[in-house]
Structure 1
Amino acid sequence: MTETLVQAWKSSRAKLEAAGVDQPVIDARLMLEAAAGVSRMDILTDPQRALTDEQQATLDSYLDRRAKREPISHILGRKGFWKIMITVTPQVLTPRADTETVVETVLSQFPEAMKFTMLDLGVGSGAILLAILAERPAAKGLGVDISEEALAVARENAANLDLAGRVSLLRGDWTAGLHDAQFDLVTANPPYIPSQDIETLDPEVRDHEPRLALDGGPDGLDAYRILAPEILRVLKPGGLFVVEIGFDQSLAVEALFKAAGAHDVKTKKDLSDRHRVVTGFKNPLET
């Protein structure tokens, strides 16, 4: 038996609440919108519209998957990030609102009309790189990832956002193979979860996100030990880096970049008032 839009929203929310899903109201609405091909406004202004049998079956399938704690981004195949909508698959990390702090930090340093080149290490879905380029039309960027599957997703997202002409994508292990290339900006959201903590994460992350994008080694800092000197190597003199960190890694990551020779190293907080990004500059006098 099919339901009306308002009945479907309420019953979906109840099923997700019973399954212990976080944000059941939002997830129920998003899945209803996708299954029934409606907008939020449709649900509010035409609540008694009946779902078709096919729409009801699709919604039920979505709910079953979400109740098993599959991420909604995998179910719907997309995720909003900053001001863009991107394709998401199980082969890439689902972008989170916390990571928007990276984008916000970059945009505050580069005026809209400014020409600059950026490098995004561990590009994944392309979320950081594409969100910045979408806001800065004179910029160009290179995204590097060790996963060919991730690069395929980033390539699709760049094309969908009409940014392919300003984006290059390269399979590689961090900065290996970049040789003498230098950039005005380097961003990264490396794996930073300590290995022993991964099993304590929510099922959506632990069971569905790529382990390669999560596991930061015994103390969560393995990637930063590699990246700190390498990011300084590929930055132009005076260039900026912005890297995401775990909420308790500020002092350790700052120390790694300072030891590598970075200047004006600082940590910025996210909207939840947690340490989220470490940022700094390469010495403008360095050659």
Structure 2
Amino acid sequence: MKPFRFQNFEISQQADVFRVGTDGVLLGALSHLDGVKKVLEAGTGTGLISLMLAQRNPELHVTALDINPEAVALANSNFQNSPYRDRLRALQADFKSFSSDSEFDLIISNPPYFEVNESAKDVFARQTIEMDAAVILHRGVGLLRDGGIISLIVPSGQSPGLEHIARQLGLHLIRRINIFGIAGGPVKRNVLEFSKKEIPATEQEFVIEKGPRVYSEQYLEATRDFHVFGNGS
């Protein structure tokens, strides 16, 4: 399978591991990183998001988890072939039972969101068999430092339910990004950021395409340090 080339690193891909996609790129590009040094990624896949975060912030170190041993091996290979190899590690672990002696500044995930179905494609990465966004909130709250953030990208229809769960867990929504696939269309995704610390929430709109197959200025600006546009990647 053809590698996906970014400006500063390359993502090797394989059939049994969820590939590079727009959701992961957006989460890696848009997540809050100010003051972040210790990151936990749940469900790393190829390692894309962890690599993007490491490029954006030279002070952070990432522990990337995945339940799939093939994903862990692939992510570690991608980490080792990057300029950020000393700050990234992938572990085979189930996030539901993962424990740590120290807390994290950021817990980040592009979690599965398809209901369990008969498809055999990317079962753990796409279907809510082992993990979903609610699990990230339930387990993440105990791994997060007091001023830390949980950052997720989810289908927009899931957001109200997740915000309700977060409130029950003592987490506060501090940022919502409404992501439109195309200008004038419906909201397709939300980036949601939660914290134990209550601060006024911010909300913004983000458009991926201003027309069919024409990226918006917003998307180009957000990903300008990563994508190599026009090279066929």
TM bucket normalised to smaller: 0.7 to 0.9
Distance 1:148 1:222, change over 3 A: closer
Counterpart in the other structure of 1:214: 126
Counterpart in the other structure of 1:163: 84
Write out aligned runs for 1:6-45 (5 A).
Answer: none
- Give distance in 2, aligned partners of 1:81 and 1:119: 22
- Give distance in 1, aligned partners of 2:84 and 2:166: 31
* Amino acid in structure 2 at the alignment position of 1:110: L
- Give distance in 1, aligned partners of 2:122 and 2:155: 17
Secondary structure at the aligned position of 1:94 is classed as coil
The alignment status of 1:97 with 2:22, answered yes or no, reads: yes
If you compute each CA radius of gyration, which structure gives the higher value, 1 or 2?
1
Structure of greater relative contact order (alpha carbons < 8 Å, 6+ residues apart) = 2
Alignment partner for residue 194 of structure 1, among 91, 115, 138? Answer: 115
Alignment partner for residue 143 of structure 2, among 234, 238, 251? Answer: 234
Q: TM-score, normalised by structure 2?
A: 0.74
Write out aligned runs for 1:199-278 (5 A).
Answer: 209-216=121-128, 223-272=132-181, 273-278=187-192
Identify, as 1 or 2, the structure richer in helix.
Answer: 1
Distance 1:80 1:277, change over 3 A: farther
Gaps of 5+ in 1: 1-73, 200-205
Q: Percent identity?
A: 22
Write out aligned runs for 1:54-65 (5 A).
Answer: none
1:87-125 CA distances to partner (integer Å, 9 max, x unpaired)? 11112111211322212332xx324xx561100011111
Distance 1:175 1:182, change over 3 A: farther
Q: TM-score, normalised by structure 1?
A: 0.61
Contact 2:153 2:189 in 1 (8 A): no
Q: Please state how far the C-alpha of 1:81 moved relative to its aligned partner.
A: 6.1
* Amino acid in structure 2 at the alignment position of 1:259: Q
Moved over 6 A (4+): none
Contact 1:262 1:282 in 2 (8 A): yes
Q: Please state how far the C-alpha of 1:226 moved relative to its aligned partner.
A: 2.2
Counterpart in the other structure of 1:35: none
